[in-house]
Amino acid sequence: MSDKKRPIGLLDSGVGGLTVASEIVNYLPAEEIAYYGDTLHLPYGPRLLEEVREFVFVIVDYLLSEKNAKAIILACNTATSAALKAVKEKYSVPVFGTIDSVTKRAIKESHNYKIGVIGTEGTVNSQAYQKSLLALDRKLKVFSAACPEFVRLVEEGRFAGPKVEKVARKYLVGLKEAGVDVLILGCTHYPYLVPVIQKVMGKEVTLISSGEAMAREVKNILKGNNMLIEDKGEEEIKQQEFIVSDQE
């Protein structure tokens, strides 16, 4: 198989990374992907970051050796917080995480310099977003909240309704009171809940998620490395593979 024809490997604990995968398919329609949902170990959020890092290494090994992936996307903020640096150091293929691609955009969108971040406990406790944001601009005020129940609701396919709204209010009230004008959805499961989150935060608050910014970054870097399949605009049958760990 030529280098370019190899798939792009993505991983998440479950369906969250599909919000990134769909943007990759939009931006890079000629590419094949191999998506790994680690449903056996879902949720990642409450686990120790060291444990998540171990899972990530096993999955990346699998995507590289079994699927011959040409690049790896950690389509999960918890995995990015836990393992991006270590994965970049260990492997020679391009590796992408969710956090840095989105913080620049968040700053650009904010007018009052108050930025909210929501994510899993693992991501919020790691302070990865604060560090990334403050490294870009020390004047920012960053407010974060962990929203652990969101992942379970999304995995159960419950995206709307009074129960979901109640949970969202509980998590978001503090950020609303803080007056953030941008809210980073720092978990790839959360874009499924955008209508509810937007309703609770109000339409004046800009919601930002990683998918699109990551897809743009992946496109630029792989193009620069001459690793992209040329898109001839023809309909070809592509292999998009989806693997889950609790059904192997």
Residue 187 appears among annotated catalytic residues = yes
Using DSSP's 3-state secondary structure scheme, residue 72 falls into: strand
Using DSSP's 3-state secondary structure scheme, residue 185 falls into: strand
Phi and psi at residue 46, to the nearest 5°: -80, -5
Which of 146, 187, 208, 222 is labelled catalytic?
187
Phi-psi region of 157 (alpha: psi -120 to 50; beta: other; left: phi over 0): left
Using DSSP's 3-state secondary structure scheme, residue 143 falls into: strand
Name the helix (H) or strand (E) containing 17.
none
What is the distance, to the nearest Å, from the Cα of residue 52 to the centroid of all Cα atoms in its chain? 15
Which of 76, 83, 147, 154 is labelled catalytic?
76
Take residue 60 and report the two structure tokens written for it.
Answer: 């990346």
Cβ nearer to ligand DGL, comparing 113 with 159: 159
Count of other CB atoms within 10 angstroms of residue 235: 7
Strand order in the sheet with 141-146: 141-146, 114-119, 182-185, 206-209
Q: Is 209 in the site for ligand DGL (CB under 6 A)?
A: no
Residue from 77, 110, 126, 144 in contact with ligand DGL (CB under 6 A): 77
Which one of the spans 8-16, 54-62, 64-72, 199-207 is the region binding ligand DGL (CB under 6 A)? Answer: 8-16
Residue 76 appears among annotated catalytic residues = yes
Shortest Å distance, C-beta 75 to ligand DGL: 8
Cβ nearer to ligand DGL, comparing 43 with 94: 43
Residue from 73, 82, 133, 187 in contact with ligand DGL (CB under 6 A): 187
CA distance 203 to 119: 20
Span 140-159, contacts to ligand DGL by CB under 6 A: 151
Shortest Å distance, C-beta 73 to ligand DGL: 12
Cβ nearer to ligand DGL, comparing 132 with 188: 188
Helices (H) and strands (E) in the chain, counts: 10, 9
Q: Is 110 in the site for ligand DGL (CB under 6 A)?
A: no
Span 9-68, contacts to ligand DGL by CB under 6 A: 12-13, 16, 42-45
Query: 195: Cβ–Cβ under 8 A, 6 or more apart, which residues?
Result: 159, 160
Residue from 117, 189, 208, 222 in contact with ligand DGL (CB under 6 A): 189
Cβ nearer to ligand DGL, comparing 8 with 184: 184
Q: Which residues are catalytic?
A: 76, 187
Which residues would be at the binding site for ligand DGL (CB under 6 A)?
12-13, 16, 42-45, 76-78, 120, 123, 151, 187-189
